[in-house]
Structure 1
Amino acid sequence: MVGRNDGWADVSGEDWQDYDGIRQRLDRGADPDAWRGGLPLHWAASHGSPQVVAELARRVADVDALEEEKGTTALWEAVLSGRPDNARALAAAGADPWRIQIGGWSPGRLSLAGPVPDLFALPAGQRGLTEAERTAVREGRRLVAVLGDIRYEGTGLACVAGIDAEEAVRRLEATEAESRALDGLLVDPYAYDMDESLRIVGVTSVPGGCVVTQPWGYAPAMPGPLARLSAGTVCYGLYANPKSGNQGSITRDGGIERGGLHPGGPPYPDSTAQEVLASYLCRYNAVAHSCLYAGLRLTDARAVVGPPDLWVRLPQGDYWSR
């Protein structure tokens, strides 16, 4: 008897593009409904070719089977991954574009916000995008284009809605950093003691609010600064951790609303509708994701990579608590 995962040994991402190879595995007894890395159809939908997707869809027990951890269908993965040809192959095999999944979105409705909005015909009774969502789509695309391919690894950000740089400095109780102290720090911040370098942040007013940045550390994304900055408004905090990837949080009116987020990555099973849309529009761009969620309309990357409007020094304190 063929074991549940037999036949898929050593399959990697590129192998899902190899129609002949995948078909041969299936003919030899590979289980179309099980693989150690998840459901084969889901992996093919996000990594494979339309031919592989169609072959697997023909053999699976349920083309709309839900992946256990995320609770999404293969069609959702195809749309989210920007694979319209795979999505078409799944729909042709009977997958339901309008099945509600994360954050109240269906694959079909989410595709309306993507580069191929006519991927599926909108049936009677299904609502299209709201005006707010259409605005977010335009702004998300604009932000991704404006920010371009900036390098932000190791950067900490607080994207703050509704206040300018002057108000941010007041809330942080910060003072202007001395130019003498900045000269060396900006050349090689890692040569300085971390307790000292973490206290220096940049602050810049942008349309819709302001950005607090630290290109060498995580200070703006710590709970203390976010709590102070978010009084009466909302902040999206980002630390682009070089070791573990992008770490995000949403702080509203002084309290952490959502933590442990991964801006620029796929949505979590419990993501809100707004988070799902930001994830879809700003895939692989954590800075654009953070700015879009906070409603900041940057016109260039200066607020993130510098030079900021003002370099300031934070007072000494425990910034890991609110």
Structure 2
Amino acid sequence: MHDDESALHDAAEDGSPKEVAELAGRVEDVDALYEGRTALWVAVYEGRHDNVRVLVAAGADPWKPMMSGWSPGRLSLAGPEPDLFGRPAGVSGLTDDEIAAVVEAERLRAALGELDYEGTGLACVAGIDAAEAARRLEAAVESVDPEEFLDEIDPFDDESMAYVGVTDVPGGCVVTQPWGYMPQASGISKRLSAGTVCYGLYANPKSGDQGSVVRDGEIVGWDLHPGGSPWEDDGSLEVLFAYLYRYDAVAYSCAYAGLRLTDARAVTGPPDVWLRLPERDHWR
């Protein structure tokens, strides 16, 4: 890829339409791929529809295949302007499942709202409730008022790492620790995921959001970046979810596990119950 073509991708995301038009006029191929996507795809993904129109006028192809079947045109069908491009005859639209995912993303993001979750660890677990989570973790239920306990605990005390909150939500439960990574620890996720799926999230204050996927006790994804741009080799579902939940790591994590939260309490607290984890190496 030439420098101008790489610069066009950057401009499609952050530049002005004038800058995009100037670069588009200099490149050899306005549809050159970088990390598996064209500049037009980037503009659609980032919601820069002003730049989309400039790129199309410069000859960019909305229906060029890429990103596990999500061409720029098909991706736009899942966005706020599904009529951004005219869909050619013979090009399929969204499936019923994809339409349902779009509707749910709008609902879930609205339900969660703006969250301050830095430093929080989450485990979003499908198909089990708080009581089953406690059983799988062999954890003791603390006989405390959940809200008062949250106010009284010292997050800077090493002892606090032994406590996690659990809240039942539609579709499963959320295990949370507002001050630490413990819910995403591999030993925790493996136990919680028996026969189901667990999406873990730690909002690391030093390095950003870190995600993981564990299915039936097996780690199938680690050091992920929920809410970030998809990788070139991501599957179709991951590309769609990256678009629907861009810059929203918590909503992405919940949606991946199929949890349908109606508010943010499972994340921000107080939880339904507090659990004390047993003494063991929770990374094994």
TM range (shorter): over 0.9
Higher relative contact order, chain-length normalized (CA < 8 Å, sep 6+): 2
1:178 Cα offset (Å): 4.7
1:182 Cα offset (Å): 9.0
Taking the TM superposition and a 5 Å limit, the aligned residue runs for 1:66-215 are 66-67=33-34, 70-179=35-144, 186-187=151-152, 189-193=154-158, 196-215=159-178
Hey, what's the Cα distance between the residues in 1 that align with 2:140 and 2:173?
17
Residue 268 (structure 1) aligned with residue 231 (structure 2): yes
Does the aligned pair in 2 maintain the 1:177–1:200 contact within 8 Å? Answer: no
Q: Structure 2: which amino acid aligns with 1:118? A: D
Aligned alpha-carbon RMSD (Å): 1.9
Does the aligned pair in 1 maintain the 2:153–2:160 contact within 8 Å? Answer: no
Match of 1:316 in 2: 279
Hey, what's the Cα distance between the residues in 2 that align with 1:92 and 1:319?
55
Aligned-pair identity (%): 63
1:181–1:289: structure 2 CA closer, same or farther, 3 Å change rule?
closer
Gaps of 5+ in 1: 1-31
1:177 Cα offset (Å): 2.2
Match of 1:51 in 2: 18
Moved more, 100-109 or 256-265: 100-109
Tell me the TM-score normalised to structure 1 length. 0.84
Hey, what's the Cα distance between the residues in 1 that align with 2:270 and 2:147?
12
Does the aligned pair in 2 maintain the 1:274–1:293 contact within 8 Å? Answer: no
1:33 Cα offset (Å): 3.9
Does the aligned pair in 1 maintain the 2:164–2:277 contact within 8 Å? Answer: yes
Name which of 272, 281, 303 aligns with 2:244.
281
Q: What CA deviation, in whole Å up to 9, does each residue of 1:13-43 have, x standing for no partner?
A: xxxxxxxxxxxxxxxxxxx9416xx811001
1:212 Cα offset (Å): 0.5
1:188 Cα offset (Å): 5.2
1:289–1:125: structure 2 CA closer, same or farther, 3 Å change rule?
same
Q: Structure 1: which amino acid aligns with 2:187? A: G
For this pair of structures, how many residues does the alignment match?
284
1:171 Cα offset (Å): 0.9
Structure whose CA Rg is larger: 1
Gaps of 5+ in 2: none
Residue 238 (structure 1) aligned with residue 207 (structure 2): no
Q: Structure 1: which amino acid aligns with 2:280? A: G
Tell me the TM-score normalised to structure 2 length. 0.95
Q: What CA deviation, in whole Å up to 9, does each residue of 1:80-103 have, x standing for no partner?
A: 111112112111211111122223
Q: Structure 1: which amino acid aligns with 2:25? A: R
Hey, what's the Cα distance between the residues in 2 that align with 1:129 and 1:180?
46
